[in-house]
């Protein structure tokens, strides 16, 4: 257990993220994101593509890899509807893995990250507000998603409440990144569709939500 807690997950996550970006760039210059070529590639892999995507996405939070690139990739590969579904499944599975890793293996490591930090109050607030804290942190990109997946595993929140809240309140953020990713295909082909402007509007709205949250919180503090 001590060896597990000494692993530098952020460095591993950075390395994996860099590899994913390089692969993405390679595929772009090889023309994979041409609509015709992309359709042929997905047809070739059929049911394996979503399964591989979900497995990789569900492991990403373990290594503190940001979830946003995976939302963009889902939009490019699977479209807005299926992409959102696959992204959401990966999100929930990843959140579950982190929850149980923290509870049974990484307790001391995560506590050292949280205690005496700006997230300590949030940690104690879970005891009072339960699933509501999960809902807020899923809706607002102000909070470090991956670290909080682990943090919730150390709290007294019921697993069922944690998962249900994570599933429901992760839908908006998953959808925003997926729609934005799907619109990138049109942009790469020189077209600015309505989908792109909707995605940009939602992305800006999500980006300013932390400011709105801080203003509301000041009124009640």
How big is the chain by its Cα radius of gyration, in Å?
18
How is residue 142 annotated by DSSP? T
Query: Would you say the pTM of this structure is higher than 0.85?
Result: no
Question: How many alpha carbons lie under 13 Å from residue 69 in its C-beta half-sphere?
Answer: 19
What is the full DSSP assignment across 107-148?
Answer: HHHHHHHHTTSTTHHHHHHHHHHTHHHHHHHHH-TTS-HHHH
**Which residue did the predictor score with more confidence, 8 or 179?**
179
Write out pLDDT tens, residues 47-101: 677 888 888 888 888 888 888 888 888 888 888 899 999 999 999 999 999 998 8
Above 50 in pLDDT, residue 135? yes
């Amino acid at each position: 257990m001590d060896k597990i807690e000494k692993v530098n997950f952020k460095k591993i996550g950075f390395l994996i993220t860099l590899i994913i970006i390089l692969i993405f760039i390679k595929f772009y210059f090889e023309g994979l994101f041409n609509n015709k070529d992309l359709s042929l590639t997905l047809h070739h892999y059929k049911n394996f593509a979503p399964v591989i995507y979900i497995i990789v996405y569900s492991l990403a939070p373990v290594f503190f890899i940001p979830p946003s690139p995976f939302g963009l990739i889902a939009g490019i590969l699977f479209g807005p509807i299926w992409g959102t579904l696959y992204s959401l499944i990966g999100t929930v599975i990843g959140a579950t893995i982190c929850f149980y890793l923290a509870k049974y293996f990484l307790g001391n490591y995560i506590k050292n990250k949280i205690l005496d930090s700006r997230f300590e109050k949030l940690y104690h607030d879970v005891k009072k507000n339960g699933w509501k804290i999960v809902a807020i942190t899923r809706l607002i990109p102000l909070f470090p998603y991956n670290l909080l997946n682990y943090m919730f595993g150390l709290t007294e929140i019921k697993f069922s409440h944690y998962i249900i809240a994570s599933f429901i309140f992760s839908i908006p953020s998953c959808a925003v990144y997926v729609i934005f990713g799907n619109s990138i295909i049109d942009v790469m082909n020189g077209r600015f569709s309505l989908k792109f402007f909707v995605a940009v509007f939602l992305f800006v709205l999500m980006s300013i939500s932390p400011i709105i949250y801080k203003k509301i919180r000041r009124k009640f503090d």
